[in-house]
């Protein structure tokens, strides 16, 4: 028995943050009913790539859920929704502040009828404050919180980060975590809660190193200047002769010493506090002088926290990740074909069966 079996979730959210949070709840055993607009449903259903008319990105986030198509402004559809509201343990919504209240679905209204309801609101800027009604996406949120300024690449060719940090680390994961805390609080008190999940608020812990630098030195580090954003030789990306990249993170002295031994770095450059720019230049030149295969062999078996950057195909083919079962879950598309499901950060004890095929919901 999975830990959340018997719990009922109503998910009014779209795109990524809310659907990923409810997917985690579903994977842990909860029954999730996804409320979608009539006709097109969740915008994610239109995203590419699509197979036989179905978006695989939508399927990755919504497997194992039910779908209920409702016009929330229609009295008849609201009547269909009411039994679900009465029995729900958890509600997730992702509208701008005040929208659910205007629809008669605000926390105060629903908790009066269902006092144990855990009501989770996920927004970009929170339920109050000057920016509460401002629209945005992940790139705006990391830009507004100072996180993007820490590492965006060369000024002449800035780089968009490879992961949606605000949506996942600032939205979906905090929502899931706070819902679990609210369930424990409800177990003790019997009362539900309104959870205000602000994706921007939740990005600041990701900048803990820069916040510490700011507190100690009076200013945050600049673009690529912090220890953990490439500002030193001990945490850096180094191009190889054949156009690959070495990801080197020998921060601690014992790893740094091993790294310097592999590179045969000159003794006067090993104390990187003395002439940090000279050390960085020497390491860069050394790694640029050989192909990635050379460095893969040299670093093999050496405890120095160095890796060759690989693409997703190579990562998924790694025997380690295969042994860990990263792709053991499967989902079935509308045509009956089976695809790898999205791996989720749940301990094996809390996951469903490895043999289970979990389809994405049709729009009903």
Instruction: Report which of 141, 143, 160, 148 is spatially closest to residue 198, judged by C-alpha positions.
Output: 141
Q: How many CA atoms lie within 13 A of 238 on its CB side?
A: 31
In this model, does residue 336 exceed pLDDT 80? no
Q: What is the pLDDT of residues 145-185, one digit of tens each?
A: 999 999 999 999 999 999 999 999 999 999 999 999 999 99
Report how far residue 153's alpha carbon sits from residue 155's, in angstroms, rounded to the nearest whole number.
Answer: 6
Confidence of residue 78 (pLDDT cuts 50, 70, 90): very high
pLDDT band at 17 (very low <50, low <70, confident <90, very high): very high
Q: Whose CA is closest to 105, among 83, 89, 82, 126?
A: 82
CATH match for 8-206 among 3.10.560.10, 3.90.850.10, 3.40.50.10540, 3.50.20.10: 3.40.50.10540
Residue 194 appears among annotated catalytic residues: no
Which of 137, 144, 194, 196 is the catalytic position?
137
**φ and ψ at residue 40, rounded to 5 degrees:** -90, -25
Strand 54-55 to 50-51 pairing: antiparallel
- Percent of the chain beyond pLDDT 70? 97
| Per-residue pLDDT tens over the stretch 187-204 | 999 999 999 999 999 999
User: In angstroms, rounded to a whole number, what is the distance separating the alpha carbons of residues 262 and 269?
Assistant: 14
Return the CATH class of domain 225-314. Answer: alpha beta
Task: Indicate the pairing of strand 118-123 with strand 193-198.
Answer: parallel
Average the pLDDT over each of 63-67, 261-265, 283-287 and give the range with the smallest value: 63-67
pLDDT over 90 at 359, yes or no? no
Lowest mean pLDDT, pick from 36-50, 99-113, 281-295 = 36-50
CA-based max dimension of the chain: 79
Instruction: Kindly report, as residue ranges, where domains of CATH 3.30.1540.10 are found in the chain.
Output: 225-314
294 as an active site residue: the answer is: no
**pLDDT above 90 for 322:** yes
Give yes or no for a contact between 103 and 72, defined as CB atoms under 8 angstroms apart: yes
CB count in 10 Å sphere of residue 192: 23
pLDDT at 364: 66
Catalytic residue among 42, 167, 272, 333: 167
Question: Does residue 234 surpass a pLDDT of 90?
Answer: yes
Measured between alpha carbons, how far is 201 from 204 in angstroms, rounded to an integer?
6
The predicted pLDDT at position 158 comes to: 96
CATH 3.40.50.10540 location in the chain: 8-206
């Amino acid at each position: 028995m999975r830990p959340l079996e018997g719990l009922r979730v109503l998910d009014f959210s779209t795109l990524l943050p809310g659907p990923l949070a409810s997917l985690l709840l579903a994977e842990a055993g909860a029954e999730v009913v996804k409320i979608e607009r009539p006709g097109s449903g969740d915008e994610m259903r239109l995203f590419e790539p699509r197979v036989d008319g179905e978006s695989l990105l939508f399927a990755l986030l919504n497997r194992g859920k039910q779908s209920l198509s409702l016009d929330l402004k229609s009295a008849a559809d609201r009547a269909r929704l009411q039994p679900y509201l009465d029995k729900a343990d958890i509600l997730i919504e992702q509208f701008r502040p005040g929208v659910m209240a205007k629809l008669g679905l605000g926390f105060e209204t629903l908790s009066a009828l269902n006092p144990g309801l855990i009501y989770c609101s996920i927004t970009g800027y929170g339920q109050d404050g000057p920016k509460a009604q401002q629209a945005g996406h992940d790139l705006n949120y990391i830009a507004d919180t100072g996180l993007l300024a820490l590492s965006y690449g060369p000024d002449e060719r800035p780089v968009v980060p490879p992961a949606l940090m605000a949506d996942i680390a600032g939205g979906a994961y905090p929502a899931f975590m706070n819902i679990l805390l609210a369930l424990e609080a409800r177990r003790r008190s019997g009362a539900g809660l309104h959870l205000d999940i602000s994706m921007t608020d939740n990005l600041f812990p990701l900048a803990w190193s820069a916040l510490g630098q700011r507190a100690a030195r009076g200013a945050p580090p600049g673009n690529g200047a912090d220890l953990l954003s490439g500002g030193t030789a001990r945490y850096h990306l180094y191009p190889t002769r054949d156009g690959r990249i070495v990801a080197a993170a020998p921060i601690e002295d014992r790893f740094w010493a091993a790294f310097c031994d592999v590179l045969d770095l000159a003794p006067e450059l090993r104390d990187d506090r003395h002439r940090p720019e000279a050390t960085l230049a020497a390491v860069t030149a050394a790694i640029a002088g050989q192909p990635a295969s050379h460095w893969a062999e040299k670093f093999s078996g050496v405890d120095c926290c160095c890796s060759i950057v690989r693409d997703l195909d190579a990562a998924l083919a790694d025997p380690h990740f295969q042994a860990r079962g990263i792709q053991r879950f499967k989902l079935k598309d509308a045509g009956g074909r089976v695809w790898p499901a999205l791996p989720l950060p749940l301990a094996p004890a809390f996951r469903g069966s490895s043999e289970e095929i979990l389809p994405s919901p049709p729009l009903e």
